[in-house]
Structure 1
Amino acid sequence: MKKRLLRALLLSGAGILLLQHTASAQLSFTGQLRTRTELRDGQGTLPTSDTKASVFTSQRTRLNLSYSTDRYRFFISGQDVRVWGADQSTISNLEGGKLFLHQAWGEVILSDSSSIKVDHLSIKAGRQEIMYDDSRLLGNLDWLQQARRHDAVVLKFSHKGWVADAGFAFNQNHGKDTPGKSGNIYQSIPAVPVAPGTNGIGMQYKSMQYGYVARTGSFGKLSMLVFKDDFQKTETVEGTTTFKEGVNSRVTIGGALFANLSGNLSLNAAAYYQGNNDRLGHSLDAYNLTMDAAYTSGKFTINPGFDFLSGNNTSKQSKVNHRFDPLYGTPHKFWGFLDYFYVADAFGMEGNPTRSPGLVDYFIRNKYKTSDKLLLTLDLHEFYAANSLAPSEALPHLKPSGRRFGTEIDFVVNYSIFKNVSLEAGYATIFATDNLKLVKAPAAAKEDRGQWAYLMLSITPDFLAKNDGK
């Protein structure tokens, strides 16, 4: 299967190059090779006293093919993601091969008609990235080498500054009946040890529906989102989880404002509420508030702000879950590059996400663009729990004190070597309190500091461009 897909992509690329002079206006053929060498000594969670730092290189290789007409668009993106050396051989890819379709969608344009007089109306179906606003709740998580995508249908509308989209997805394990079971029961927890998503979600949604409306004008942009994701009901008996008929539905609703106050001052604010039921069927009552301002003076931009994500009372078990889940966005962009919060691993008392105290993040992001080629960024985060912390039975020597988790510093240098070739280097470190040790798995003695460094090379060729790279 993987060999056939790779062969098809290569043949497609060769065919495109042959057709370049006759159909270049309709065709696009681009690629990406991105290698990232990382030093991890407490990335994702605080290291323990016997943890050894690791160094490895991961690579994403991607080919993108697009074909457009007045009536429809077609796009396919195949990628291979692997860690150098994971094949355990120079001639076999049985161990580490990760070749798969990242995107494959078609878009039928309905507004190309005299009877439909709007700027754009289309239906987009297939495997696709879904991104809105600042990617807080819906984003492609491009920092992750695999990136995020959905199998969905999206109805897209835009006209005179208004945008309105409606999206739908319905997931199944296969296209055949299962003896003795309903064909609509979705086995949404992977059989292999692969996280189905960020935020410690543990399972993929069975279905989802959303509506998005935005208005753009001289003031900036105002948007509203209603998102419902449905999870197959489960039952756990003596550690064994089975799937049942029906779904638990989670509803997220809210809006965001991106305001241009002047030529060099902007203000962003958002508020979202999450209700109905969580994925396990518990009542849900959670919210997220955020606000930040950005001021640019010459080559320098300062961007202070705060995030508040509600959480649970960690002292006693509640029948209502108050933990806000930031859905399918890009956590790496918002809550520190060390990815301690709302990423794949659990964030809660003794690593239990149902006992998550929530998060308050006070931040200052700084950018300095020295030239068209060089950009420096320095982000400072001060993290707190949104609720008080209870003592831990697993770590009795740690005594909660206040709500402060610690201070994180993220520094990144991005240099454009020339067109379509860039080099990026980063370093992040956190100075933790005992409170942070209580909410990060595993429940073991941890160090006070974690750190992470990386060096990333990105080459993004446009194979049909006559002056690519110049």
Structure 2
Amino acid sequence: MFRRFLLTAAAFTAIYAPASAQTFSEALAASKPILESRLRSETNDQAGLQKAEALTWRNRIGFQSGEFNKLKLLVEFEDVRALKDDYNSGINGKTTFAGVGDPEGTELNRLQLTWTPNKAATFIAGRQRITLDDSRYVGNSGWRQDEQTFDAVRGDFKHGKWAVTYAYLAKVNRTQAEAADWDSDSHLINVAYAYSPAFKFQVYDYALDFEGAPANSTNTLGARLSGEKAVSDYKLTYAANYASQKDHGNNPADFDLSSYSLDGGVSRGIVTVKAAYESLEGNGARGFITPIGSNHGFRGWADAFSTAGNKTLPNGLVDRNVSLILTPKSPVTFLKNPALTLIYRDFETENTGQAVGTEWDAMATTDLTKNLSLMLKYADFERDGAGMPASRTKVWVALEYKL
């Protein structure tokens, strides 16, 4: 049904699309290069394992063409090298070391054709980056050196305050080079109504079916409300989300789980304070999962609960956290747009209410030039008793260049 809708919409927009005057040679001349380079040190001092020390270097190169007959072509290759490889990448066999999920590999990261017949519709076909909302359920896992991309067909439609996104996923190119990719027969649909900056309402249905990974085949149906508003010298933000998740496709299990989250923030000048609560239900055998989400940004930067990226315990997980973000004026001219983030998290199981542990996260970022940035990052998870994920401390230092 979704694919029939997409083809019908494509035919309709083609009829009413205005002709493009740009020639093919002009489109080639308007092409823009893609050049990115990220050098990152990561250490993971995890109880019970050898300390991991990784120095990885990721490079991307490609181009985005100009427009020809409402079409644009993007090609991008990606290469990840380990300059220091005393770590378990998940596929290198170094299981006595703690984990750093950045294996070596070279691959085609993106190859996509974009058709924009008019202002109301955009279609993208091919290997592409897809992020929806805050990337909690659908994202590119951009924290890892090898990002997650999708072999997909996507359509975005806008009318007034309404926006609709539909995507069919044929393959998920995950963050472990090509060793753990999933063939897919999955559908994503997200419908949003933006009444005002203070009120945006969305409903979504993500029906995921993965060959070779049946435990991750799920149908997640939910709704999200978010917004922001200026009050005097303050900026207020909020978001609320609820979702239910059931077994789907080739998943042999039978379950019905839910998740909800609430977060709010207030900013004034250089200071932002946020508080958040997220609950992911568990039934003792499995918890609510987010198999294609950008999970590093949620439930702690130490990734203490990560199982195939899902970051949920069988008895579920509750994450209570508060954060402080500072964006001070730089004291020196060669450091631009500095930002400091500090987060405290307290975890417990959703099903049994058992204490899991606490975590401190901290990060400092700054731009060194227009194209070069520096990041220092720290995460310290301390478990609260036997049977919980191992305590660990992680430290990152990264330099990133983007043309």
Whichever of the two has the greater Rg, that structure is: 1
Q: Match for residue 454 of structure 1?
A: 396
Q: Match for residue 45 of structure 2?
A: 41
- 1:64: Cα distance to partner? 3.3
CA distance in 2: counterparts of 1:110 and 1:431, whole angstroms: 53
Preserved contact between residue 250 and residue 279 of structure 1 (Cα < 8 Å): no
CA distance in 2: counterparts of 1:210 and 1:428, whole angstroms: 33
1:105 aligns with 2:122: no
Superposition TM-score, scaled by structure 2 size: 0.79
Preserved contact between residue 248 and residue 281 of structure 1 (Cα < 8 Å): no
Q: Match for residue 32 of structure 1?
A: 36
Superposition TM-score, scaled by structure 1 size: 0.68
SS of 1:332's partner is helix
Q: Which residue type is aligned with residue 375 of structure 2?
A: E
Preserved contact between residue 415 and residue 423 of structure 1 (Cα < 8 Å): yes
Match of 2:300 among 319, 323, 336: 336
CA distance in 1: counterparts of 2:310 and 2:186, whole angstroms: 23
Task: Give CA deviations for 1:83-132 in whole Å, capped at 9, x if unaligned.
Answer: 1156xxxxxxxxx8621111110012222xxxxxxx32132110011111
Preserved contact between residue 33 and residue 458 of structure 1 (Cα < 8 Å): yes
1:432 aligns with 2:383: yes
Preserved contact between residue 310 and residue 358 of structure 1 (Cα < 8 Å): yes
CA distance in 1: counterparts of 2:161 and 2:306, whole angstroms: 33
- 1:326: Cα distance to partner? 1.4
Match of 2:230 among 249, 253, 262: 262
Preserved contact between residue 248 and residue 279 of structure 1 (Cα < 8 Å): no
CA distance in 1: counterparts of 2:344 and 2:39, whole angstroms: 26
Q: Match for residue 237 of structure 1?
A: none
Preserved contact between residue 166 and residue 211 of structure 1 (Cα < 8 Å): yes
Q: Match for residue 355 of structure 2?
A: 404
Q: Match for residue 95 of structure 2?
A: none
SS of 2:303's partner is coil
Match of 2:337 among 373, 381, 385: 373
Q: Match for residue 305 of structure 1?
A: 276
Q: Which runs of at least 4 in structure 1 moved beyond 6 Å after TM superposition?
A: 21-25, 345-348
Preserved contact between residue 162 and residue 216 of structure 1 (Cα < 8 Å): yes
1:362 aligns with 2:324: no
Q: Which residue type is aligned with residue 221 of structure 2?
A: I
CA distance in 2: counterparts of 1:310 and 1:278, whole angstroms: 21
Match of 2:209 among 227, 230, 236: 230
Indicate how the Cα distance of structure 1 residues 126 and 291 shifts in structure 2: closer, same or farther if over 3 A, else same.
Answer: same
- 1:249: Cα distance to partner? 5.7
Indicate how the Cα distance of structure 1 residues 109 and 361 shifts in structure 2: closer, same or farther if over 3 A, else same.
Answer: same
Q: Match for residue 170 of structure 2?
A: 170
Match of 1:383 among 323, 332, 347: 347
Indicate how the Cα distance of structure 1 residues 58 and 249 shifts in structure 2: closer, same or farther if over 3 A, else same.
Answer: closer
Q: Which residue type is aligned with residue 269 of structure 1?
A: A
Preserved contact between residue 44 and residue 394 of structure 2 (Cα < 8 Å): yes
CA distance in 2: counterparts of 1:428 and 1:439, whole angstroms: 17
Indicate how the Cα distance of structure 1 residues 252 and 193 shifts in structure 2: closer, same or farther if over 3 A, else same.
Answer: same
Q: Which residue type is aligned with residue 309 of structure 1?
A: L
1:139-178 pair list within 5 angstroms: 139-171=139-171
CA distance in 2: counterparts of 1:32 and 1:39, whole angstroms: 23
Q: Which residue type is aligned with residue 100 of structure 1?
A: E
- 1:140: Cα distance to partner? 1.0
Task: Give CA deviations for 1:112-162 in whole Å, capped at 9, x if unaligned.
Answer: xxxxxxx32132110011111111101111001101111011122112232
CA distance in 2: counterparts of 1:271 and 1:233, whole angstroms: 28
1:84 aligns with 2:65: no
Indicate how the Cα distance of structure 1 residues 193 and 211 shifts in structure 2: closer, same or farther if over 3 A, else same.
Answer: closer
- 1:327: Cα distance to partner? 3.1
Indicate how the Cα distance of structure 1 residues 97 and 120 shifts in structure 2: closer, same or farther if over 3 A, else same.
Answer: same
- 1:232: Cα distance to partner? 3.9
Indicate how the Cα distance of structure 1 residues 432 and 85 shifts in structure 2: closer, same or farther if over 3 A, else same.
Answer: closer
CA distance in 1: counterparts of 2:205 and 2:104, whole angstroms: 38
- 1:331: Cα distance to partner? 1.0
CA distance in 2: counterparts of 1:193 and 1:79, whole angstroms: 12
Preserved contact between residue 416 and residue 423 of structure 1 (Cα < 8 Å): yes
Question: Larger deviation: 217-226 or 280-289?
Answer: 217-226
Q: Match for residue 245 of structure 2?
A: 274
Q: Match for residue 209 of structure 1?
A: 187
Indicate how the Cα distance of structure 1 residues 453 and 232 shifts in structure 2: closer, same or farther if over 3 A, else same.
Answer: closer
Match of 1:253 among 203, 206, 221: 221
Indicate how the Cα distance of structure 1 residues 25 and 260 shifts in structure 2: closer, same or farther if over 3 A, else same.
Answer: farther
Indicate how the Cα distance of structure 1 residues 171 and 103 shifts in structure 2: closer, same or farther if over 3 A, else same.
Answer: closer
SS of 2:297's partner is helix
Preserved contact between residue 248 and residue 278 of structure 1 (Cα < 8 Å): no
Preserved contact between residue 347 and residue 439 of structure 1 (Cα < 8 Å): no
- 1:343: Cα distance to partner? 4.8
Matched-pair identity in %: 23
Runs of at least 5 residues in structure 2 that lack an aligned partner in the other structure:
1-24, 86-102, 330-335
Indicate how the Cα distance of structure 1 residues 233 and 193 shifts in structure 2: closer, same or farther if over 3 A, else same.
Answer: closer
Aligned residues: 350
Indicate how the Cα distance of structure 1 residues 413 and 333 shifts in structure 2: closer, same or farther if over 3 A, else same.
Answer: same
Runs of at least 5 residues in structure 1 that lack an aligned partner in the other structure:
1-20, 87-95, 112-118, 173-187, 197-203, 235-242, 315-320, 389-401, 441-445, 462-470
CA distance in 1: counterparts of 2:188 and 2:54, whole angstroms: 39
Indicate how the Cα distance of structure 1 residues 251 and 223 shifts in structure 2: closer, same or farther if over 3 A, else same.
Answer: same
Preserved contact between residue 217 and residue 251 of structure 2 (Cα < 8 Å): no
CA distance in 1: counterparts of 2:82 and 2:342, whole angstroms: 28
Task: Give CA deviations for 1:297-349 in whole Å, capped at 9, x if unaligned.
Answer: 110001101000011236xxxxxx6x21113111111111101124536867x
CA distance in 2: counterparts of 1:403 and 1:25, whole angstroms: 61
- 1:254: Cα distance to partner? 0.6
- Larger strand fraction of residues: 2
